[in-house]
A and B are shown apart, each in its own frame.
Chain A
């Protein structure tokens, strides 16, 4: 069960009409290292986690990523909502416009649609947690590239906050990985997948 809260997690700031910037930021909506991939990856991996703690971390971070997805959407929505056709064309967003107008759709900066192939759910908690550590670093790097590309001070501030969240999540996943190593070394032998008891 999820409950919607009618507010953003962070007060997103958009100071310009800027379809060119929207066109690259949308990769954090539907790109390979974006917030949709992050959220769905963690929420689906939680079913095969062995401990209350690892289930909680994936549940809670997966839920927070949905809030980040909404913040990214808010950036794209506000950067484009007042854009004229001329500005859309100048920004190279005309291909997107032809398919979606200014609606939000899950694509990367080049229009490639989101795919479940971006994520993995391996059933091996150690493998999954390592994937998640990498995912947070890739998302951090993406936000840094977007900050370099941003010429809107409010959007830059919002992207910097989103980048910080990747660092916190990385920290929590690192602690969870250590906890999983501890769990397997103390209470069990290493789980090998197909064994029966």
Chain B
């Protein structure tokens, strides 16, 4: 997987993680207005990142949540467990932080 794709994926993962964390917090603090604002801001950033990533690399979600170009892109590899984010120099299969 190319470095630019990995970088985009990591940004997307970070943004969604922010949303997950705020979501759990809001479940037990539903009246925290500042947290809710942060959540809604995160949603907007996440949407933009998702749209950009999916336009380049195909859908992140299936079952009707994202369109696909031809041929059906959902079956394309790699699947998530096949992507290694180890950034050690001697690890060939990854190295998204490696200088090329």
Chain A positions near chain B (C-beta within 8 angstroms): 3-15, 53, 56-57, 60-61, 64, 70, 73-74, 77-78, 153-154, 168-169, 172, 175-176, 179
Contacts and interface: CB of A to CB of B under 8 A. Distances in A.
B63 to A, nearest CB: 6
Contacts of A12: 84-85
17 contacts: A4-B61, A7-B12, A7-B13, A7-B60, A8-B13, A9-B13, A9-B16, A13-B94, A15-B91, A57-B28, A64-B24, A70-B80, A74-B80, A154-B87, A172-B27, A172-B28, A176-B27
A11 B81 contact: no
A35 B67 CA distance: 32
Contacts of A10: 13, 17
A77 B80 CA distance: 11
Max count, chain A CB within 10 A of own CB: residue among B16, B27, B62: B27
B88 interface: yes
Interface of B: 9-10, 12-13, 16-17, 20-21, 23-25, 27-30, 59-63, 65, 74, 79-81, 83-88, 91, 94
Contacts, number: 87
Contacts of B59: 6
Contact of B65 (A3, A8, A64): A3
B91 to A, nearest CB: 6
Contact of B81 (A8, A61, A169, A172): A8
Contacts of B9: 7, 11
Nearest to B20: A64
A94 to B, nearest CB: 24
Contacts of B23: 60
Given A7-B80, A15-B91, A53 B61 contact: no
A53 B26 CA distance: 10
Given A74-B80, A175-B28, 15 more contacts: A3-B65, A5-B16, A5-B60, A6-B61, A9-B17, A11-B9, A11-B10, A11-B13, A11-B83, A13-B84, A154-B87, A154-B88, A168-B21, A172-B24, A176-B27
A90 B68 CA distance: 46
Given A3-B62, A11-B13, A57 B27 contact: yes
Nearest to A15: B86
A172 B21 CA distance: 11
A23 B9 CA distance: 29
Contacts of B94: 13
> Which 5 pairs of residues, A with B, have the shortest CB-CB distance?
A11-B85, A175-B28, A74-B81, A154-B86, A15-B86
B43 to A, nearest CB: 15
